[in-house]
Amino acid sequence: MSSSEWREVKLGDLLEVSSSKRIYAKEYVESGVPFYRSKEIIEKSKGNDVSTELFISEERYNEIKNKFDVPNYGDILLTSVGTLGIPYIVKNEKFYFKDGNLTWLKNFGNDSNNLFLYYWILSPYGVNQINSKCIGSTQKALTIDTLKKFDLNLPPLPEQKAIAHILSTLDDKIEVNNQINKTLENIAQTIFKQWFVDFEFPNGAGEPYKSSGGEMVESELGMIPKGWEVTKLDEICNFISGYSYKGNELVASNNAMITIKNFDRNGGFKLDGYKEISISDRVKDKHFVSIFDILVAHTDLTQNAEIIGNPILVTNTMSYKKIIFSMDTVKVDPIIENYRFYIYGLLLDSNFKGYALGNMNGTTVLHLSKKALPDYKFVKASNDLIERYNYLVKPLYEKIINIYSENIALNKLRDSLLPKLMSGEIRVPIEEN
């Protein structure tokens, strides 16, 4: 098998490049078939939940499907305005998308593999084509005609499939790991709710406290288990404001800063939110973070206050030497170390989110009141139960850390293989029939 079997082709010779039919804002409905723009497709390409919900009616979707076409399994959508060249492979799902924002690659020919082309777009060779052939100065864009003229070096179909299989196997493992982490997080939150919100923690006989007749007493927050008390967060935590950085400090570095971009709109810690920064003498010891530190978003730029008041638990430093946190966040530091995961559970609870929404100000930029965190009242469990909870869930979060580290290693392996496989530097053996 020699590299001479590879051939130079135009992308438009391998598939159909098109877009969607125009959908107007007046056609949006409250529920129905999801309607995606670049923003939502980028979220889906990262494996995140869609944060903005737009819909068109079933009737309009079916009309388009019958007269024209809709995205089908295996098609590729490519962001084509603003943030360019982010590909997404359509799964078994039902949605439509915005014209202009996204370009639709479909009807792949018999000599091309959609998954191979997906990885080619992500490779340095695809990125180079995107950067060199996009148009516009203020806002970059990819046109349908431009995409059709993309040049690529194409191996025979069996080798395309073999290359795609190697790369997708790594991505599939990463996705499985992400699902495991979500499950572990959900287990911890489920236990928290059962014990500290529903009051069904194990009593002395190992039975659910409230439903087995455990004694409840009145409090300003309603009926609570006997021996528990209403308290404020500042009685068990200290609060540390983040670092007020300057724009010229954001430079390539082996140090980084956690920002509100590390906060997922749907909850959780996003590894791609770090900003590299030069750490000067202005940074104090209090500004550094470590694994398992708790941070709360104090600023929000989203339209629906999706981030403000959300907590994150630092579970990976992305191999940066030192990590600090920005002025848009506040560190919540437990006075008693064994309370750490209990406090994180308190801040994840919907009661705290509702409280945060009632204690913010601003219009375009939202800010959480400085008194919101220390003044938050909650029902504090017994010390023994809190320590039991922390002992129970700490191994879950330690497992999450290990999985994040494995995913980083898998990402690095995939990214190192990608250009070598796409150039033919590494050849994949193909079994002869």
The pLDDT averaged over each successive group of 10 residues in the chain (433 residues) is 78 95 94 94 86 91 95 96 93 93 94 96 94 83 93 95 96 94 95 97 92 95 96 97 94 95 84 91 95 95 85 90 95 96 96 94 88 96 96 96 93 96 90 59
In this structure, the number of other CB atoms found within 10 A of the CB of residue 271 comes to 14
CA 57/CA 395 separation, integer angstroms: 46
Neighbours of 403 (CB within 10 A): 19
The full 3-state SS of 207-225, as one line of letters, equals CECCCCCCCEECCCCCCEE
Report the CATH fold assignment for 229-380.
Adenine-n6-DNA-methyltransferase TaqI; Chain A, domain 2 (3.90.220)
Alpha carbon separation from 53 to 31, 83, 306 (Å, rounded): 9, 20, 13
Do domains 3-154 and 229-380 share one topology? The answer is yes
- Cα–Cα distances (Å) from 423 to 64, 115, 118, in that order, read 39, 16, 15
Helical axes 157-192 vs 383-423, angle rounded to 10° = 170
Summarised one tens digit per residue, pLDDT across range 194-213 is: 999 999 999 988 899 999 99
The CATH class, in words, for 3-154 is: alpha beta
Tell me: the pLDDT tens digits for 373-405? 999 999 999 999 999 999 999 999 999 999 999
Q: How many helices (H) and strands (E) does the chain have?
A: 10, 23
Where exactly are the structural domains of the chain? 3-154, 155-204+381-433, 229-380
Cα(125)–Cα(421) distance, integer angstroms: 11
The answer to whether 32 touches 61, Cβ cutoff 8 Å, is yes
Domain 155-204+381-433 has CATH 1.10.287.1120: yes
Provide the whole-model pTM: 0.86
